[in-house]
Amino acid sequence: MKLSLISVLLLTLLGLVSCSPKTPVKINLVPKPVELVEMNGTFVLSAKSKFEIAGNEQLQELKDYAQKIIQERTGFQLTEGEGAGLKFELIEDEELGEEGYLLSVNKNGISIAANTPAGLFYGLQTFRQLLPSEPADEVVLPYLEIKDYPRLAWRGLHLDVGRHFFSVDDVKRYIDLMSMYKINTFHWHLTEDQGWRIEIKKYPRLTEIGSWRKKVGFEANQEKGLNVDDGKPYGGFYTQEEVKDIVEYARLRNVTVVPEIEMPGHSMAAMVAYPELYCFPDEKLEVRTEGGVSNGVYCAGKDETFEFLQDVLDEVMALFPSEIIHIGGDEAPKTNWIKCPLCQKRIKDEHLQDEHELQSYFIKRIEKYLNSKGRRLVGWDEIMEGGLSETATVMAWRGVTPGIEAAELGNDVIMTPGTPFYISCPQSINKVTKHDGTVNTMRDMYEFNPVPDELTPEARKHIIGVQACHWSEGTPNQKILEYKVYPRAIALAEIGWTPQEQRDWDDFYKRVEQHLPQLSFYGVEYGQRSYDVKINVVPDKDHKTIFAEFITEVPENVYYTMDGSEPIQTSPVYDGTLEIKATGTLKARMFRPDGSAGRLATQEVNFHKALGKKVQYNIPYSTKHDGGGDYAMTNGLKNKWQGFEKRNVDFVIDLGEATEFSKIETNWYYDINDWVFRPLEVKYELSDDGENFETVYESTHVNAKDVYDKGTLNLTKEIENGKARYIRVTAKNPMVNPAWHSSAGGATWLFIDEVIVE
């Protein structure tokens, strides 16, 4: 059968296999292998091809799994026996490690070799992507050689089943999909303020009472039409037999299930079931129906609390073979502990300094128990407050700074900063989730490096993994779950698997677009691409000319204006070069294929004497809020905030030559509720040689107690006959939220947008 030119082009675009045996499959592998060499020649795979496992009968379950994949993708199975076809083989190759593999296609067929069954499994996932997305009598495979192994050991996806409950089948499907992309850790968030989801036989009220709330709740979902709250009790839990079934299901797919039992905070459901675990048991408590941070914190002054948690962990450890157990440790308000006589007695008896050290005591006591059972503890980065044990693993979610600090202390770290790795935040403005706010795009995620360059070589070894987290407040069903998770989970997979130096956004985007039909084959209704535009300003190499650049996810036209009007499809199209020559308002937007407009991006640009000049950071900014990167302080962009998390501000602007000016201005954003504070002190200093500085401005500020205000602090200094080459700006950070803050002890931020020199 001959194909029309249009058909051939369409099939090529989608990465599908033609019915013609003369057309080999197109290679679009995700994550990208470490080494791939394509050669001349093809091998034809059909029902006549053989399937052989060399010298190891223990791999029978993997063979059955492989036959299932081939059957669902092609419509046929292979004939078992020796000969040209598919061959699995265990070998010894030190370079491949525990999860690496070799995949070869030549005249003898397809060979997958590895040191372990895990490596064979991952080789099989790569082979799966070479199969068609529709039935075919034959599959034509190009000759190739692949050597592949992961960058990071922990490649994780998280699922919160507390806010919304997902069935056993939903969880298995979640595991199935993640395993396709070599994601090897399923972080199962099992307990929350809104529901306790795992059966504990010694404490039956945990599921009889704690797994149910009076209604679905989360009213924003009903307002958006995502689900219906009928006012009936809502909940559910997993029996121990169901947990065992899921753990075994995951094992067959080389996925380790890491359970999370939250403590000391986010535990209201447990305290509704067993009020004696609360500091004030006479208070009436309810399983929460909305999100946020609650006072559902275990009483740290009662020995009964630790006896209860040890009993719970005993049953949990019997169900989960994972060496690592997650204990949460995040967002535990100290309000009750401050008022509780038993907690205060514990502080005194244990010679602790304050409630933060009491949390550290709590975590370390649980860790000691886990260690005695041969297990290790991982917790959210709040476990660092009050002192971190030498053996705990830190999951850094409040930016990269906690991860950097933990790695430098010698603790293992899993990077999962909320921006961009919280995939509960939609990946685009879309009709499915009715979302029109902040997005974490696939590009945002892909371009994140989980191993910061500023780390020493020794500290880098302690960044053991990367993870994306899905919190289910706004995700009431599986359809919306998959819409949010994919295809961003593929970006996560490549970050954790592919060497950093081989990662390239444009290349990745092309491969993902051609891979999407394979997601559709498995019924995944994946999320829409983002049509947002990000505006940045960068200087040329001599720092004398500056250019605007537009950063997008989809490689399509960006329309812009510089006169304040809104761009339309007859406006100028960005061609990669746009010089900024004067103060003005830059606006840009994209248009979707259906003609609808993407969100308007608007940016005021200040043209001043420091614009585009080089900045030397004596203290690095946080990559979570980079404000535009190395030139954020001189890019002329208002309200593009650069953040400094738990660190002071100290940078020097080089004007290139001695320059006359009459004013230095900075703006500082603060939102106390969101942990962004006013700087305690700010200095402007001038220098001619970059070494000897003279202070020309010094200002002090107060963050009032118990006041959760927000706004912008403008600090302008008029300078008579000012002249200098170098301008230094320093500011003092409070470092941690004060004791009165609802998240006391958390790392505070300073936000600055730019330095205006006129």
Same domain, 617 and 590: no
Indicate whether 48 belongs to any domain. yes
Cis preceding linkage at 31, omega within 30: yes
The CATH number assigned to the domain holding 614 equals 2.60.120.260
Q: What average pLDDT does the chain have?
A: 93
Rounded Cα–Cα distance for residues 396 and 409 (Å): 14
pLDDT digits (tens, 9 = 90+) for 473-504: 999 999 999 999 999 999 999 999 999 999 99
**More confidently predicted of 335 and 56:** 335
Nearest 10 degrees: Cα torsion 419, 424, 430, 432? 180
Please give the average per-residue pLDDT across 734-757, as a whole number.
Answer: 90
Indicate whether 494 belongs to any domain. no
221 and 481 in contact (C-beta within 8 Å)?
Answer: no
Same domain, 754 and 654: yes
Same domain, 101 and 201: no
* Among 380, 450, 395, CA closest to 420: 450
Same domain, 365 and 263: yes
**More confidently predicted of 640 and 30:** 30
In which band, very low, low, confident or very high, does the pLDDT at 718 lie, cut at 50, 70 and 90? very high
Same domain, 418 and 555: no
pTM above 0.75, yes or no: yes
Among residues 601, 629, 653, the one where a domain terminates is: 601
Q: Which residues pair with 651 in a beta bridge?
A: 617, 729
How many residues appear in the chain?
758
Same domain, 175 and 227: yes
Residue 3 clears pLDDT 50, i.e. is over it = no
- For residue 441, the model assigns a pLDDT of 97
Same domain, 104 and 127: yes
Same domain, 585 and 564: yes
133 and 520 in contact (C-beta within 8 Å)?
Answer: yes
Please give the average per-residue pLDDT across 393-407, as a whole number.
Answer: 92
**DSSP assignment string, 579-595:** EE-SSEEEEEE-B-TTS
Residue 172 clears pLDDT 80, i.e. is over it = yes
608 and 757 in contact (C-beta within 8 Å)?
Answer: yes
Rounded Cα–Cα distance for residues 30 and 510 (Å): 11
Among residues 89, 121, 148, the one where a domain terminates is: 148
Residue type, 121: F
Q: Residue 662: which domain range?
A: 606-758
Residue 27 clears pLDDT 90, i.e. is over it = yes
Q: Which helix (H) or strand (E) holds 113?
A: strand 109-114
178 and 186 in contact (C-beta within 8 Å)?
Answer: yes
- For residue 22, the model assigns a pLDDT of 56
**DSSP assignment string, 307-371:** HHHHHHHHHHHHH---SEEEEE--S---HHHHH-HHHHHHHHHTT-SSHHHHHHHHHHHHHHHHH
Indicate whether 380 belongs to any domain. yes
- Dihedral sign from CA coordinates of 91, 94, 100, 104: negative
């199962």: which residue's tokens?
188
- For residue 11, the model assigns a pLDDT of 35
Q: Which helix (H) or strand (E) holds 60?
A: helix 60-74
Among residues 547, 572, 601, the one where a domain terminates is: 601
* Among 482, 412, 543, 464, CA closest to 178: 482
Please give the average per-residue pLDDT across 507-528, as a whole number.
Answer: 97
Residue 4 clears pLDDT 60, i.e. is over it = no
Please give the average per-residue pLDDT across 324-337, as a whole number.
Answer: 94
């704690």: which residue's tokens?
210
379 and 388 in contact (C-beta within 8 Å)?
Answer: no
Indicate whether 128 belongs to any domain. yes
> Percent of the chain at pLDDT above 70?
97
End-to-end CA distance of the chain: 72
Same domain, 258 and 390: yes
Rounded Cα–Cα distance for residues 199 and 180 (Å): 29
256 and 184 in contact (C-beta within 8 Å)?
Answer: yes
Count CB-CB contacts under 10 A for residue 637. 22
In which band, very low, low, confident or very high, does the pLDDT at 57 lie, cut at 50, 70 and 90? low
pLDDT digits (tens, 9 = 90+) for 379-395: 999 999 888 999 999 99
Please give the average per-residue pLDDT across 176-184, as a whole number.
Answer: 98
- For residue 55, the model assigns a pLDDT of 66
Rounded Cα–Cα distance for residues 255 and 125 (Å): 13
């603790």: which residue's tokens?
411
* Among 69, 108, 74, CA closest to 89: 108
Q: Where are the beta strands (DSSP E) in 48-90?
A: 50-54, 79-80, 85-90
The CATH number assigned to the domain holding 563 equals 2.60.40
- For residue 10, the model assigns a pLDDT of 36
* Among 288, 16, 6, 267, CA closest to 133: 16
CA distances from 749 to 414, 450, 542, 641, 755 (A): 22, 20, 32, 11, 18
- Token duo for residue 462: 């302690």
pLDDT digits (tens, 9 = 90+) for 244-296: 999 999 999 999 999 999 999 999 999 999 999 999 999 999 999 999 999 99
Count CB-CB contacts under 10 A for residue 380. 25
Same domain, 106 and 218: no
Same domain, 439 and 578: no
> Burial level of 6, CB count in 10 A (0-12/13-18/19+)?
exposed
Phi, psi of 115, deg, nearest 5: -75, -25
**More confidently predicted of 10 and 47:** 47
In which band, very low, low, confident or very high, does the pLDDT at 72 lie, cut at 50, 70 and 90? very high
Residue 134 clears pLDDT 50, i.e. is over it = yes
pLDDT digits (tens, 9 = 90+) for 534-588: 998 888 887 778 899 999 999 999 999 999 899 999 999 999 999 988 899 999 9
402 and 747 in contact (C-beta within 8 Å)?
Answer: yes
Domain count, the chain: 4
- HEC sequence for 431-446: CCCCECCCCCCHHHHH
> Percent of the chain at pLDDT above 90?
85
- For residue 540, the model assigns a pLDDT of 84
CB neighbour list of residue 199: distance below 8 Å, 6 or more residues apart: 206, 207, 237, 238, 239, 240, 243
**More confidently predicted of 133 and 756:** 756
Same domain, 129 and 165: no
